[in-house]
Structure 1
Amino acid sequence: MSSRNRSPNAELGLLDATMIGMGAMIGAGIFVLTGLAAEISGPAAIVVFALNGVVTAFTGLSYAELAASIPKSGGGYAFVREIFADFASFIMGWMLWFAYMIAGALYALGFAPNFLELLHVYGVVAPPEEVGAIAVPVIEASIPLSVLLAFTAVAGLVALNAVSTAASGSAETIFTIIKVSILVVFVAFGVTSPMFSSAEFQPLFPDTGPASILPAMGLTFIAFEGYDLITTVTEEVENPRENIPKAIFLSLVATVIVYLAVVAVAVGTLGAEGLAAAGEAGIAEAATSFMPTGLPIIQNGGALIVFGAVFSTLTALNAVVIASSRVAFSMGREGQLLPSVGQLHHRYGTPFVAILASAVVMLGSVALPTKSAGNMSSLFFLLSFIIVNVAVIRLRRERPNMNRPYEIPFYPAPPLIGIALNLLLTGVLVEYLLRTDRLAILLSVGWLGLGGVAYLALNRYRARQNETTDSMTNSEITPEGEEHP
């Protein structure tokens, strides 16, 4: 069987699939966004994370039904490709592919300073802000060490994914278990500390009022993006019709529990004002305030959180390397990218070209402004979630008798609520970007415009290929009664 016609091997179990979702969701977001959420909404930061979990669950139900009904790799793109027109499905895949690659660049850049900070804790290097650039004699230039570390992290995980799906899935499982264990240790020390026993969570809205929840939700929503990555590897999961919905729900429930426990401990020990003052270092400062010093290997609470942040960025990066390449692979297989992108490697059985193509764009995205790149990623994810909720409604109408091993309860309320809530958050985000980050809007429009050009170019390429094939076929046909020369 040629690499063009091969299907990916089902080498991932339920645990591996669940860890891909948790690995992407429990990324650096929980470490850096908790303090920022407390700054906006005070002790109600706990409510913010809880409500975002509810909002996410509605779209999660749609992903679960579609994945069980259409067991194809590619995530939201695969579902839209099954239901919508050619151009609409291409734009969906184009957005998702870019969103995952942009997220990968952000995770790689987040890994670098955390890794340097971890080395600094153990006296290996100077503080991250004092670490200089490294001279590259071949090109007579200097590269910041943080950028070099980001490139190294991407290259290492790309190599792992290119060689073995099972190995990358196992790495994701191990890294995710480590970082969740670190957060469990944080919560265990926190709830047993005297600081938490005297915690005050009231008044829930000290100055800002309940309206502060909405902007805080918009800020922290990115922390819940990740369960959708599970559906990008559907064909590589054993018994996907059953295991994919289970993995989505398990990853969402486990992540929400972990988030609520961490935020409650952080607010309960450091206080909402102290957490807000600490900003992006809120969780680390909370850990330093109540965790003992002189722990084995880990010297103090702050070091423990830095250690957790290193593994969080690595697992999130690995998850989006997997996801972005599978979206590209699915598009190539459907003829919406170059055919080579949709083929499996003859030896490794992985979407080798799709992985390399995704890595190139991911590394190039490191040059984009971090804030703008993050906003673009959030905008494209929200838009894709709206489309997925629309897709599940349309599929129900057009194919009512389709085999659905899992069906959304109380249909059509969940997808309709999902559409409304994601539209609301999209509107809030766009309004915010128009005021504070117009570059993100321009880059988003530019990427979609580039997608339109790519779509037309690929259509012309396919037309020429078909013409060549037809002419070769016709030249081999001999009229009846006429002999070959």
Structure 2
Amino acid sequence: MSSRPETEGLRRRLGLFHLVLYGLGVTIGAGIYVLIGLTAAEAGLYAPVSFAVAAGVVLFTGLTYAELSTRFPVSAGEAIFVEKGLRRPQLALLVGLLVAASGIVSSATIAIGAASYLFHLIPIEPNILTAGLIIFLGLIAAWGILESVTIAAFLTVAEIFGLLLVITFALEADPMLIERAGELVPPFETSAWSGILSGALLAFFAFIGFEDLANVAEEAKQPKRTMPRAILLTLGLSSLLYLVVVSVVVLSVPMEALTSSASPLLLVFETASPTTLLSFNLIAGLATINGILIQMIMSSRVLYGLSKNHHLPTTLGKVSPITGTPIIATVVVVAIVLVLALALPVGQLAEWTSRFALLVFALVNAALIGLKRQKTPLNSEGFVVPLWIPVIGFLTCAILLIFSLATLI
């Protein structure tokens, strides 16, 4: 009899390819498919600059995550980073719960949107469709990390294909778009840059997700080598895609129509054939479904990691000997997502996701600053950034967070 003990750790099954697809899958998705119009409402034609500013803010934090994932390649990464760097266990628990909560709320919000879209293809009562979708994706998340990430990888490829389809169709419809690229350069005027910064907060939401890679580090092969590469490749590829997509959309779609649309990318296909339009609709649906799956995987790993580090009940840290996944933590996540999606108004909570992320990012950068000031050595050779990287990461996140909170006053 050779069954695995129920408390055995997670299995390292993810290589660089799967990690990058996981990172792209949780980063690219509902954000870019719906945020362009909202960003353009703030920044106008300069929306691509807003995305560039957001990418710049995220880059420094991404480099911080790259080093910390080398130092501590475990689940519930942010909580461990903060606990080790700031030496505040209570603060570490708060960070972990914030990360898990943001993933759970995002899953519930996306599930409602996905069900609303799928209702046009599957005419089932919306609440039943929402519940069925969440349970189905929860079963996939519990199936096994390699299996669930492989499915997410296929959905990620579909997401990326959809964005490439937007670029290709827009350029074929109007080859002059490339020559008009100069129109995207903003003037040095306060009004223009105020709108760009407001748009950057919205654009920032589209980049949230790369940090979820830290929460599957315990299931990564050779994490000290693959995790930094996966994080940086995820940020680089998603940033490039975003900038090109946003540029062709704002140049090819009338601004009035763009800023008032809940499905801005569909406007690019107004002259497309019914088959092309249907294909893109399906791809957009897959993008939202993928976000639910990956966010549930991430949230369950955070609860698992907090349990293993004695911040939450040990039950949440139990791993199934059959699937090699944290079954109880996954069930808890799916149950909470169901409650939020079916019973609570999650819209306003979802608006705070980017603010929670900025707060977590600021604390993670502060943690690396603390570790470097402690002169804590790496356990072995790994990825290292200079001190000024987390300093700038902390300042940029803090400034954007303060700017976003000021808009509420």
TM-based fold match above 0.5? yes
- 8 Å CA contact retained: 1:38, 1:273: no
Matched residue, 1:80: 82
Contact kept in structure 1, 2:105 and 2:346, CA below 8 Å: no
- The alpha-carbon deviation at position 105 of structure 1 amounts to 0.8
Looking at structure 2, the residues matched to 56 and 306 of structure 1 have their Cα atoms a distance apart, in angstroms, of 29
In structure 1, the residue matched to 2:292 is 317
Whether 1:364 aligns to 2:339 is yes
Match for residue 11 of structure 1 among 8, 13, 18: 13
Partners of 2:19 and 2:404 lie apart in 1 by 30
2:118 to 115, 119, 137: 115
Aligned to 1:52: 54
Out of 250, 274, 278, the position equivalent to 1:267 is: 250
Residues 46 and 184 in structure 2, CA contact (< 8 A), matched pair in contact too: no
Distance 2:312 2:349 in 1: 23
CA shift at 1:68, angstroms? Answer: 0.7
Contact 2:184–2:247 (Cα < 8 Å) also in 1: no
Q: Does 1:339 align with 2:326?
A: no
1:250-261 equivalence runs, <5 A: 250-261=233-244
Residue 202 of structure 1 corresponds to which residue in structure 2?
183
Q: What residue is the counterpart of 1:463 in the other structure?
A: none
Does residue 42 in structure 1 map to residue 44 in structure 2?
A: yes
1:222-271: CA deviation from partner (whole Å, max 9, x where unpaired)? 11000011110111111111111111011111111111111111112114
Cα 1:401–1:157 shift into 2, 3 Å: same
1:28 is displaced (CA, Å) by 1.1
Q: Secondary structure at the match of 1:212?
A: helix
| Aligned twin of 1:193 | 173
- Length-normalised TM-score, structure 2: 0.92
Match status 1:89 vs 2:92: yes
Could you tell me how far apart the structure 2 residues matched to 1:43 and 1:406 are? 42
Is 1:282 the counterpart of 2:258? The answer is: no
Distance 1:222 1:254, change over 3 A: same
User: How far 1:85 sits from its partner (Å)?
Assistant: 2.4
C-alpha distance in 1 between matches for 2:221 and 2:227: 9
Please give the alpha-carbon distance, in whole angstroms, between the structure 2 residues aligned to 1:110 and 1:20: 21
**Matching residue's letter, 1:92:** V
Q: Superposed, which structure 2 residues align to 1:62-461 within 5 Å?
A: 62-83=64-85, 84-117=87-120, 119=121, 125=123, 145-194=125-174, 196-197=176-177, 199=180, 202=183, 204=185, 208-276=191-259, 278-289=260-271, 292-294=272-274, 299-301=275-277, 303-366=278-341, 367-403=343-379, 405-409=381-385, 411-433=386-408, 435=409
Q: Which amino acid aligns with 2:115?
A: A
Given that residues 42 and 204 in structure 1 are in contact (C-alpha distance below 8 angstroms), is that contact kept between their aligned partners in structure 2?
Answer: no
| Percent of residue pairs identical | 27
Counterparts in 2 of 1:53 and 1:406: CA distance versus 1, 3 Å: farther
What is the deviation of 1:375? 2.2
State which drifts further: 60-69 or 346-355: 346-355
Cα distance in 2 between the residues matched to 1:203 and 1:160: 42
* 1:146 maps to amino acid: P
Separation in structure 1 between the aligned mates of residue 249 and residue 82 of structure 2, nearest angstrom: 40
Output the CA distance in 1 between the equivalents of 2:193 and 2:377.
44
- State whether residues 41 and 216 of structure 1, in contact with CA within 8 Å, keep that contact through their aligned partners in structure 2: yes
Deviations 1:389-426 (A, max 9, x none): 011111122244323644444x2222111111111121
**Aligned pair in 2 of structure 1 residues 398, 203: CA closer, same or farther (>3 Å)?**
closer
SS at structure 2 position matched to 1:361 = helix
Stretches of 4+ moved more than 3 A in 1? 195-201, 203-208, 271-274, 403-409
- Matched residue pairs, number? 401
- Indicate the structure (1 or 2) with the bigger Cα radius of gyration: 1
- Cα separation, 2, equivalents of 1:200 and 1:382: 31
Contact 1:227-1:251 within 8 A present in 2 as well: yes
**Superposition deviation, residue 195 in structure 1:** 6.5
Of 192-201 and 411-420, deviating more is 192-201
Q: Using the alignment, how far apart are the partners of 1:200 and 1:254 within structure 2?
A: 20
* 1:474 counterpart residue number: none
| Post-superposition offset of 1:280 | 2.1
Q: 1:233 to 1:155 in 2, by over 3 A?
A: same
Task: Tell me by how many angstroms 1:320 deviates.
Answer: 0.7
Distance in structure 2 (CA, Å) of the matches to 1:155 and 1:107: 14
Q: Which structure would you say has the larger RCO, counting Cα contacts within 8 Å and 6 or more residues apart?
A: 2
Q: Does the 8 A contact of 1:42 with 1:205 survive in 2?
A: no
If the length of structure 1 is used for normalisation, what is the TM-score?
Answer: 0.78
SS at 1:58 equivalent: helix
Distance in 2 separating the partners of 1:104 and 1:196: 39
Structure 1 residues 354, 45: CA separation in 2 closer, same or farther (over 3 Å shift)? same
Aligned equivalents of 2:64, 2:84: Cα separation in 1 = 15
SS of structure 2 residue aligned to 1:12: coil
2:98, 2:175 → 1: CA distance?
Answer: 46
Question: Which stretch of the first structure deviates more once superposed, 31-40 or 52-61?
Answer: 31-40
